Amino acid sequence: MIDKNKYSSLIKNEAKRLGFEYVGISKADFLEGEASSLESFLKNGFQGEMSYLENHFDMRLDPRLLVPGAKSVVSLLYNYYPQNQQENIDVPKLAKFAYGQDYHGIIKTKLSELMDFIQAEIGKVDGRVFTDSAPVLEKAWASKSGLGWVGKNGLLITYKKGSFQFVSELIIDLELEPDGATTNHCGKCTACIDACPTEAIESPKVINGSKCISYLTIELKNEIPVEFKNQMENWVFGCDICQDVCPWNKFSTSHSEPLFEAQGRLLDFTKNEWEEITEEVFRKVFKKSAVKRTKFSGLIRNLEFIRNK
């Protein structure tokens, strides 16, 4: 007979040893409550050019279609809040998640280590690891697993550490003891809605992705629509506005992951250094960074857009 509590504790303890601050478990089942929200998001065209979000609708709602025989979803959070940040408000700005090396490979390596541990300690367990790389509604699963709640800005907020956390999952065919969901603690606060310069938060938890600065500076491959002139607030890769104003992020503490530290003088770049950046400097500074996603041409596009006011 499977000892669900024993195995659950074993997995959580190892995950925390690997650096994950929060670990929660849900039963792998159909996300009935998210179906209508996802359908509405796509119907309204809030995905913009992110056409991949239109694919695998059923798979996004049911992890058993991703991993046949799946019984549990293990959700994990990894802190990325930096101790040192860009201090000059007049220079082009990067979202904090992009200060250091690209998190995808770092987190996936840790997830693979956790999966190896499970198979070594428990036996034959099949499953897959995910970190922002497959049709998984990560924030929904993290919320269902009791790690936090989805705030009005559409991000997962934890009660003790705020929202600067990378979300990832293991979907496995091992039955574990599920954790219950927590309650929403946003209350009447509308700080994130009020602060968004492009009004991307249409209503609580309804995000028009095509208006989000993160989308405009990263996902959008065409020219940034002129309607967003003077609304970008110097962001050239991603945006942290809705997180920076969230009261819960006053509880954020600095991460302890060396690979997430900013490389070289990145945080001290002057306005002129940003505006005169060459492709050679770009490749050197952002060699292992998520900023590579926008490519040099994309970064130049973003820099020119915020400069030509």
Q: List active site positions.
A: 132
DSSP string covering 20-85, please?
-SEEEEEE----HHHHHHHHHHHHTTTTTT-GGGGS-HHHHH-GGGTSTT--EEEEEEEE---SS-
Cα(117)–Cα(121) distance, rounded to whole angstroms? 6
Q: List CB contacts of 123: < 8 A, sequence separation 6 or more.
A: none
Check residue 172 and report its DSSP letter: E
Gap between the terminal Cα atoms of the chain: 67
- Written as six digits, the tokens of 265 are 């003088």
Collapse the DSSP code of 145 into the 3-class scheme (helix H, G, I; strand E, B; otherwise coil) and give the result.
coil
Query: Would you say 289 and 98 are in contact if contact means Cβ atoms under 8 Å apart?
Result: yes
How far apart CA 191 and CA 241 sit, in angstroms, is 10
Contact 107, 78 (CB under 8 A): yes
Instruction: Give the alpha-carbon dihedral of 156, 29, 208, 160, to 10 degrees.
Output: -10
Find all residues with CB under 8 Å of 124, minimum gap 6, and list them.
none
Contacts of 206 (CB under 8 A, 6+ apart): 37, 40, 41, 46, 154
Q: What are phi and psi of 205, to 5 degrees?
A: 70, 10
